[in-house]
Amino acid sequence: MTSLVLTLVAQREATTLDSATIALVRDILATNAEAIVLSAGEAVDIPCPENAATKLPAVREALNTLPVDTVLTHTATRRKRLLVSDMDSTIVANETLDDVATHAGIGEKIAAITARSMNGELDFATSLRERVALLKGLPASLLEKAWKDVKLNSGARELVQTMHAHGAYTALVSGGFTFFTSKVAALCGFDENHANTLLFDAEDCLTGATGQPILGPDAKLSLLEKLTATHNLPTEATLAIGDGANDLPMLRKAGLGMAFYAKPVVRKEIAAQINHTSLRTALFAQGYPASAFIRD
């Protein structure tokens, strides 16, 4: 009996996962196991031999012109009982601090600092202090304006609601701000949320500072470890999802760390990647068929 499974997920809007593509992958893996359909034309599981990891580069090379994601998992520990997810550019399409800056007319300046931080070129705490300092004196109303621009990524609610319905605990953690995480957590159904806090003066304007301590990569890892212990789970039962350098510690630690449309520094290190599809792939990778997804 095989202990590994390769999940193929196609970008529904661009292509269909057809029998020829599935057969090609089975041939590369040298497996006689039949593919298990999770969603017709969209996702399948292919049970595969123990050496499947060594053949993944060949599989990805063969699929490199197709918008298809591939995730290799162990069958015994597929269903995760804890989800810890980043927010900006993961659960939501936005970088919320950049959006606040855009409404303030300094979007490009702050976005450039954000990009350097997410690419691992700048210490996270330093980058956050620099960006927030540029907002000093701006009215709190800018946050409400930025909130109106926030858009959930496809599959975000399905991911959280489906895992929750099957007994998993879910946490949203962000290097951004509680103003946004509290609202996004409520929209998706996360059990808890954690982020940094913005400080305001008596006139309800930003002071240019944040509450301490700053929540960064180490705090994300600590939250994953704390919740794993609190719920008495093995590390293998945990799932972490993120896109930036500040997510790397928790992605490395989780039983399954998934890089979601991630920065190059993250894709270089994290094997399980969503580069073409939606957050639904994080469910398919756990063996959930589309029929089990919780939808609005």
Judgement on whether residues 156 and 71 belong to the same structural domain of the protein:
no
Domain identity same for 231 and 285: yes
Would residue 127 count as lying in a domain? no
Question: How far is CA 238 from its chain centroid?
Answer: 13
Please report whether residue 62 resides in a domain. Answer: yes
Distance CA 156, CA 145 (A): 22
- Catalytically annotated residues: 86, 88
Q: What is the C-alpha separation between 225 and 76, in angstroms, rounded?
A: 21
Tokens found for residue 62: 């063969």
Residues 194 and 183 in one domain: yes
Question: 252 Cβ partners below 8 Å, 6+ apart?
Answer: 269, 270
For residues 254 and 232, membership in a common domain is answered with yes
What's the CA angle centered on 98, arms 259 and 213, to 5 degrees? 75
Is 291 within a domain?
yes
Residue 23 lies in a domain: yes
Say which CATH number the domain at 260 has: 3.40.50.1000
Residues 182 and 196 in one domain: yes
- Which secondary structure element, helix H or strand E, spans residue 27, and what is its range? helix 19-29
Same-domain pairing of 40 and 86: no
- Residue 140, classed as helix, strand or coil, is coil
Is 77 exposed, middle or buried, given 0-12, 13-18 or 19+ CB atoms closer than 10 A? middle
- The reply to whether 263 and 176 lie within a common domain is yes
Residue 117 within a domain: no
Q: What domain range includes position 205?
A: 79-94+152-296
Question: Which of these, 56, 86, 88, 97, lies nearest to 250 by C-alpha position?
Answer: 86
Q: How far apart are CA 292 and CA 264, in angstroms?
A: 33
Domain boundary (43, 77, 111) is at 77
Residue 66 shares a structural domain with residue 165: no
**164 and 31 housed in the same domain:** no
Where among 28, 52, 77 does a domain terminate?
Answer: 77
Tens digit of each residue's pLDDT, the chain (296 residues): 468 999 999 999 999 999 999 999 999 999 999 999 999 999 999 999 899 999 999 999 999 999 999 999 999 999 999 999 999 999 999 999 999 989 989 888 888 988 898 888 888 999 999 999 999 999 999 999 999 999 999 999 999 999 999 999 999 999 999 999 999 999 999 999 999 999 999 999 999 999 999 999 999 999 999 999 999 999 999 999 999 999 999 999 999 999 999 999 999 999 999 999 999 999 999 999 999 999 86
Query: Residue 54: which H helix or E strand, with range?
Result: helix 52-62
Let me know if residue 213 belongs to a domain: yes
Q: Residue 42 in contact with residue 129, Cβ under 8 Å?
A: no
Number of domains in the chain: 2
